[in-house]
Each structure stands twice: as C-alpha cells, then as structure tokens.
Amino acid sequence: MRKLILGIYMLCTLMSNNLNAQIVQRIDSLAKVHQSKGFNGNVLYSKNDSIIFTGSYGYIDFESKKPLNDDTVFELASCSKQFTAVAIIQLVEKKMISYDTKVQEIIPDFPYQNITIEHLLRHQSGLPDYQKLFYDKKYWNRKKMATAQDVVAILNKLKLELHFEPGSRYDYDNTGYVVLGVIIEKVSYQSYPEYIREHIFIPAGMLASKVSAVDNNPEQDDNVAIGHTYNKRKKRHQRAHEDKNHKHLNWMKAIIGDTGIYTSLLDLEKWKQVLRNNILITEESKQMMFSTDEISKKYGFGVAIYNTESKGKWVYHNGSWGGAKTMTLYLPETNEFLVILSNNRYEDTYKTFEDDLYKLIQ
C-alpha cells in the first residue's frame, strides 16, 4: 500500500513538474514575442507560494544597456495604492482611526466636511485631480518639486468644488490616495516612507523595496530600472523626465501615496504571501480590502476586484506613470500571482500582454 501511495505521489509530482516546465516555456515565448514588439521589463508567475517563472527582458537603462535581473526594482506607479491601503488598514486595526473617520478630523483645514477614509479608499470622494492643478502655472512653481503635503495645502487653499457628493459615485482618482498618504503621516507621526518601511517592508522581508521622496530618488540606485519613453522621431528610447510629454515628472515625481513604491518581482511575491497569510493585517480586514460595495462595484481598498468563471476572484491593479507600466494580478482561490513590470511604457502591457499571460495559466 505504501509503495502504491509513493508511486502515485511520484507520478503526480512528475506530471506537475512537466506542466510547470510547459508553462515556463510558454510564458518565456510569449514574453519574447512582446519584447520583439517593444516590451522592456520583468515577468513573474507563482502558484501555491512557489515561483514557477521569472523572466527579464531588456535593460535597466537604455543608455548603458545594463541588463535587467530578477532583483531589479521598478516603480509601481498606481500599483502602489495597495500599500497605502494596507497602511490605513493597519491604523484602523490599531483603533487610531476608523473607516468612518472624516478627513477634517485629521486635517482641520481640509475644506470638505463629509469625506471619510473609506470614501478615499474606494474612490468615492469627488476630489479634483491634483495632476491638473499642478500642471497649471497659476497654482505651482515648476522649479520646485511638489510633495503630498503640497497637494493637501493646494486643496485647502483653493477650496474647489467637488465633482460629486462624497459617497454617491465611484470615480477613480489619484488625489484621494495622496490625501491618504498624508493621513498616514499625521496619525502615525512618521513620514510615509518611514511608515511603509517599518510596518510593511521589514515585516514582509521586502528588503529591496523603496519609497520615492523629495530627498530620495530610487532611480539613482544601481539596480533600479530607470523609466523611459520611446521617441518616435529619433527612433530611440529616452529617459522619461526628458520627454516633453512627461515634463510633469520634474515637479511631481515626489508626490506619493497614489504612487511612489519601488519594488522587485521577488519582493512582490513576498508581498502577496504576507497578505495571503495575514502577516500585516487580519483575515477580516483582508476580506474587506478585497470586497466591493454598491457604489464601487469593482474596487476594494487599493485594488480592483473582478469575479471570473475560470479562476474566481481577481485582485488586480495596473499602473502607469512616468516611464512605468505595471500590472499585478492575484488569484486568491487558486493562489496564483502574475506580475508584469515595465520601465518603458510598453503600450500593449494592458489588455494584450496581460490577457495573453492570463490565458496561458488557464
């Protein structure tokens, strides 16, 4: 009987290894197809907390031609929002704030009385787009690098009309997560980078990860992917901040909360595992993070939520900022995780590469 059980186990292991080898080959082939179309970046696929595939395609820096590797750190852009959300959840669990806490209770000069923490988390605040404000010379001196605190100061000063009554609509916006970043600082008495490092990166073992700030540009580090865009006229890649269409990076790069997290494939797998195993927040809080409501029918706290027939729930986000295009997809019911990190704004990252990648694991 024991020999039979051992034989079945060995057969199952062999079949699993063969299947994984096929998936590895298929993902690599798919990534190389997209690399031939312009993709520059890294890809990960894991299942049951085991990394099945990682691949690096292209350069950290197009000028030096230094190759990417599994440990290369990328700017996450809006995929950063899930980190801000978890930080807020931690403060709620410590009873320092609640989801019903109004922003005005934490930031007294905030001109909008009825916006709560949960409104910000679920994109239900109606706040104006800070990027439009900071692109306007009337409101900001472009010779000065802006911060999240500057965003709040501008909102407090201008007192612009909200787009809608808080809690009445869903409208994805970045401003709310910048405000959440400032709330983290005011409630914790730590800077946003300090809080994220102490309460998320270190407990998760994400030791390669960083947070951007006015006095800290991670792209100056050797193994951090530098953001690029493609210049069609010159037929070459250029650093994103040199692109005339991305001039805003020269004065908005250090605004964080909605963006600003830099991390690697391997650290993102650690991030997924600590969420799955409730290391940073409780199971109850995680389920709330991964749930929607009647207003935000496809968004939880810092992540988009979709239900599919093939793999169950999707916990998803993408990001686009400067030279970065990113995607993370966690499938909690099958414990699978897909990541695409690009540092050259590859156009087909969304809806083509990510869809092709998802089809491979079905």
- Tokens describing residue 189: 């008495």
Measured CA distances, 88 to 106, 182, 286, 342 (Å): 13, 11, 12, 27
Measured CA distances, 76 to 14, 17, 164 (Å): 36, 31, 29
DSSP string, 57-119: ESEEETTTTEEP-TT-BEE-GGGGHHHHHHHHHHHHHTTSS-TT-BHHHHSTT-S-TT-BHHH
Q: Which of 289, 258, 314 has the alpha carbon at shortest distance from 99?
A: 289
CB-CB neighbours of 247 under 10 Å: 14
8 Å CB contact between 249 and 240: yes
Q: Tell me if residue 362 falls in helix, strand or coil.
A: coil
- Tokens describing residue 265: 């494939």
Q: Tell me the pairing of strands 66-67 and 59-61.
A: antiparallel
Measured CA distances, 210 to 14, 21, 161 (Å): 39, 33, 35
The sign of the torsion formed by the CA atoms of 185, 191, 193, 196 equals negative
- Tokens describing residue 42: 């890294």
Does residue 64 have an active-site annotation?
no
Element (H, E) at 286: helix 283-289
Catalytic residue among 46, 78, 264, 342: 78
Q: Which of 298, 357, 334, 269 has the alpha carbon at shortest distance from 57?
A: 357
Orientation of helix 353-360 relative to helix 2-36, angle to 10°: 160
Q: Which of 153, 19, 174 has the alpha carbon at shortest distance from 84?
A: 174
Q: Tell me if residue 184 falls in helix, strand or coil.
A: helix
Measured CA distances, 321 to 27, 110, 297 (Å): 25, 27, 25
Supply the residues annotated as catalytic.
Answer: 78
